[in-house]
Amino acid sequence: MASPYAIRIIGDPVLRQRASDVTEIDGRLAALCQDMYVTMYEAQGAGLAAPQVGVQKRFMVYDLGAGDGPQVLINPVITESDGECEFYEGCLSVPGLRFDIVRPSTVNITGLNLDEHEVEFEADDFLGRLMQHELDHLNGILLIDHLDEDQRRSAKKALRKIAMEAPSGVAGLGAELASPAKPKFGLFRS
């Protein structure tokens, strides 16, 4: 089955905007999630946030590959975070780049599922990292914003390569390349 969506790539302004809360959980949203599962599996990703398919809403789909099948989390919030660990992180919207990035090791998450039930859970290891990464997407934050200076230099090299190979639509890559290093984010964010 062909993927219903093209995954937006760094340089696309949609990835740099803060998504707004989901206000209606309906059949339309459920259908959108179904399409996002297909896109996520086709790209062999473990998670996909709505802005990555051009939808400015606060929800994500994910599958940890543990046999639970695909999951949806709507309007997720990190209510608590603890510890810190390094993880070799990649992103479907920043193809070809992976970096060791330090983030809290455990986060407490609240959100809604497609049945409009509130869910609350503690996430560590891979799930904890995935939650923080996808939540970043909902806030317009990308992997490269977490890099130190050395990592940033090699990221720029890789970004230039992406820019050369990218379809002409990726007009914002020049701006990503030109932007000065952003200040490091604090470890405890929501």
* Beta carbon of residue 89, minimum distance to Ni ion (angstroms, whole number): 8
* Beta carbon of residue 91, minimum distance to Ni ion (angstroms, whole number): 3
Which residue among the candidates 134, 149, 165, 176 is catalytic per the annotation? 134
Please say which residue, 91 or 107, places its beta carbon nearer to Ni ion: 91
Q: Which of 32, 12, 17, 10 is nearest to 158 (CA)?
A: 10
Residue 133 has a CB neighbour count (10 Å cut-off) of 24
Alpha carbon distance 25, 57 (integer Å): 11
Separation in Å, CA 97 to CA 29, 38, 105, 158: 31, 23, 22, 7
How many angstroms from the chain centroid is the CA of residue 18? 12
When CB distances to Ni ion are compared, the closest residue is 91
Please say which residue, 10 or 163, places its beta carbon nearer to Ni ion: 10
* Beta carbon of residue 160, minimum distance to Ni ion (angstroms, whole number): 20
Give contact residues for Ni ion (rule: CB under 5 A).
Answer: 91
Please say which residue, 75 or 132, places its beta carbon nearer to Ni ion: 132
Tell me if 151 sits within 8 A of 29, measured CB to CB. Answer: no
Please say which residue, 25 or 50, places its beta carbon nearer to Ni ion: 50
Is residue 134 part of the annotated active site? The answer reads yes
Alpha carbon distance 46, 99 (integer Å): 17
Rg (CA), the chain: 16
* Beta carbon of residue 116, minimum distance to Ni ion (angstroms, whole number): 26
Alpha carbon distance 108, 90 (integer Å): 22
State the catalytic residues. 134
